[in-house]
Structure 1
Amino acid sequence: MRRPLARSLTALVAAALLLPAVAACDTEPAGLVIYSGRNEGLVGSLIEKMEDSLGTKIDVRYGDSAELAAQILEEGDKTEAGVFLSQDAGALGALSKEGSLAALPAATLEKVAPSYRGSAGDWVGVSGRVRVIAYNPDKVAKAPDSVHELVKPEWKGRIAYAPTNASFQAFVTGMRVLEGDDATRTWLKGLKANAKPYEKNTEVLEAVDKGEVSLGLLNHYYWYEKVAEEGEDKVKAKVHFLPGGDPGALVNVAGVGKLKGSSKSESTYAQKAVDFLLSEEAQKYFADETKEYPLAAGVKTTVDGLPPLESLQAPKIDLGKLDSLKQTLAMLQDVGMV
């Protein structure tokens, strides 16, 4: 469901301009246009519930979050979008930096902890996911407690990762913010020497599960989705949540913001759409359907065995600063990962 991303920002802008609008099924005008970095298979049914809740027609344009953010910047005040639903915080941070997002009311912002919303008060997280290390207990008794251990010689040829995947690239961006470019580049070179690249996180998990490798880097929900589908007794792989604020324990969010320049009526629907995504109905959808963490206060995860969000020892980072994807892609290209 989560699509890989490994193109320069220039290419992303060019690709974004070619994204077609979703054609309406009838002539009824849309009350709201949403640009969604979350794909239709993941959130399509939730958007239908939103239409019912808002009482208006919603048109959605789907694409990669970075591509859509680039398109919004290119369109400027002429954008048709009233709402941007992003797969990750970095794309929202990029729009916030350019002043493209409208301020959200305090009542909306206060539904989510400050660490999972924009520091400028113009976007808010709606679901969260944490980076983990998957491991095969037949290959290793215990997973390392830091991604920095993965560059040691004993792990050569024993690690799987998906370097073209957006979630890996967001993690690398987080490491750059936390530890600097030089340290991150050195770490990436060490990881490349030890790890086997795969296209998708599902392939990473499958490689760990089958014993092709000992460890894999991915987001937590891939393992919980697999367990939900197959049963835990059928899944050999386990997952390890990293302690001590390790950069490999990044908690990233899917989030939403309103675009500036919308008409008054669309702006009203846009605010209602944001609030709907933080409603108990939508938050339970993310917990049940995507195995992510609900972020609105008072809604708890329903996933069996998933550690509470507040128990995670994630690194302290302003998620809006994950906006420097261009520099991350350049670094990944420089070390030969993409």
Structure 2
Amino acid sequence: MRNALTRCVSALAVAALLLPLGTACGVGGEAGLVIYSGRNEGLIKPLLEKLEKSVGTKVEVRYGTSAELSAQLLEEGDKTKADLFLSQDAGALGALAKQGRLEKLPQPTLDKVAGQFRASAGEWVGVSGRVRVLAYNPSQVAKAPDSVRDLVKPEWKGKIGYAPTNASFQAFVTGMRVLDGDEATRNWLKGLKANDIKPYEDNLALLNAVDTGQVSLGLLNHYYWYEKVAEKGADKVTAKLHYLPGGDPGALINVAGVGVLKGSDHSAVAVKAVDFLLSKEAQTYFTDKTKEYPLASGVTSTVPGLPPLESLKAPEIDLGKLDSLQETLAMLREAGMV
């Protein structure tokens, strides 16, 4: 797995470095719409090919990590050629919104998504959602804890796994900082380290470790488990999921989202592209391919056994405030977690 910590730090150091620009649907000619995509090319390219047909304009895409691209867009400022930023997480969009680099989206577009999954001032909107959960091995855990705050207790010593370089783990820690404050979060991280929490390269390795009993619990996103079940069959997966109640920080619902760059020469087409990403076709693509939650109203998940989004007890948090990644990384380093 690519080292997310290195990526994020490097993004700030070399933000002006241009990333390769490739077309989503062929090469040649002047781009009608330029998208910077923090979502993986293997996942998103087929959908962007459909987007190109839907908006009726040639599309070119620059791929990178969301942190890198957000930093690059801030460096480029009003000279950027980008019209649209498609981010893996809300924090990168929040960073751009804070600096005034995103246009407010039309209200009919915003109204397609519930308020907690879009910017409070309307500069970006979520297109798919993922929930933080506890994966546990039922042969080792009779009852999973109802709060991540309990994971520092002695009974969990040496039994917990995490993926420290994963962007979603770092966003979760950022969310905990917003909810509980820096001092409480720092103490919690130090408590986890003292409790001999086990690091894994990525969420797939972590889930496999829970499944095979290397650790009893794992902090990860919901969709890794559903992807494993879809691939292997439910009877081949030992691990179970626990959705945390009561607005716990460990129940954070984060989003992949999209925003239109301020000053775009193709803003009307860019808004059409946003509307396409919120269409039933695109929303169903996300739920089918990644097992994420669709966020547009009127679209429901097709994933067997996935709890309805409205049934989850996520913490109340402005996702745009998940933009302080560098502070989170510094705290993780201080605690010896990365």
Aligned-partner Cα distance in 2 for 1:127–1:186: 32
Aligned mates of 1:318, 1:4 — CA distance in 2: 27
Taking the aligned partners of 2:232 and 2:290, their CA distance within structure 1 comes to 15
Note if contact 1:8-1:326 (Cα within 8 Å) is conserved in structure 2.
no
Q: Deviations over 1:302-322 (max 9, x none)?
A: 111110000000000000010
Identity %: 71
Corresponding position of 1:228? 230
Cα distance in 2 for partners of 1:58, 1:78 equals 19
Aligned-pair distance for 1:57? 1.6
Give, in angstroms, the shift of residue 4 of structure 1. 4.9
Q: Normalising by structure 2, what TM-score? A: 0.96
TM-superposed CA distance for 1:19, in Å, is 4.3
Q: Secondary structure at the match of 1:80?
A: coil
CA root-mean-square deviation? 1.3
Q: Deviations over 1:233-266 (max 9, x none)?
A: 0001111000011000000000000001111xx2
Q: 1:40-93: CA deviations, max 9, x gaps?
A: 011111111111111222111111111110000000011111000000001111
- Look up the match of 2:249: 247
Residues 67-76 or 13-22, more deviating:
13-22
Aligned to 1:102, the other structure's residue is in SS state coil
Question: Residue 17 of structure 1 aligns to a residue in which SS?
Answer: coil
Structure 1: state its 5+ residue gaps.
none
Q: Partner residue of 1:73?
A: 74
Seen in structure 2, the aligned counterparts of structure 1 residues 222 and 10 have a Cα distance that, compared at 3 Å, is closer
Alignment of 1:274-289 (within 5 A): 274-289=274-289
205, 209, 234: which one aligns with 2:211: 209
User: Is contact 1:126–1:283 with CA below 8 Å preserved after alignment?
Assistant: yes
- The size of the alignment, in residue pairs, is 335
Contact 1:160 1:197 in 2 (8 A): yes
Alpha-carbon distance between aligned partners in 1 of 2:7 and 2:188, rounded to the nearest angstrom:
21
For 1:80-115, what per-residue CA distance to the aligned partner results, in whole angstroms no more than 9, with x for missing partners?
A: 110000000011111000000001000000000000
TM-fit CA distance, 1:271: 0.8
Matched to 1:281, the amino acid is: E
Deviation at residue 336 of structure 1 after TM alignment: 1.3
* 1:12-46 deviations in Å (ceiling 9; x for gaps): 22344334222344322211110011010111111
Give me the whole-angstrom Cα distance separating, in 2, the residues matched to 1:228 and 1:291. Answer: 9
Match of 2:267 in 1: 267
SS in 1 for 2:4: coil
Shift in Å at residue 11 of structure 1?
Answer: 2.8
Q: Check 1:3–1:166 CA distance in 2 against 1; reply closer, same or farther (3 A cut).
A: farther
Change (3 A) 1:4 1:201: farther
In structure 1, the residue matched to 2:147 is 146
Amino acid across the alignment from 2:337: M
Supply the distance in 2 between the matched residues of 1:111 and 1:157 (Cα, whole angstroms): 44
Deviation at 1:191, TM superposition (A): 1.2
Write the distance in 2 (CA, Å) between the matches of 1:105 and 1:253.
19
Aligned pairs for 1:153-168 (under 5 A) are: 153-168=154-169
Partner of 1:14 in structure 2? 13
Structure 2 residues not aligned, in runs of 5+: none
Letter in 2 for 1:51: E
What TM-score comes out, normalization by structure 1 length? Answer: 0.96
Cα distance in 2 for residues equivalent to 1:157 and 1:91: 33
Specify the code of the residue in structure 2 equivalent to 1:258: V
Rounded to whole Å, the distance in 2 between the matches of 1:218 and 1:295 is 20
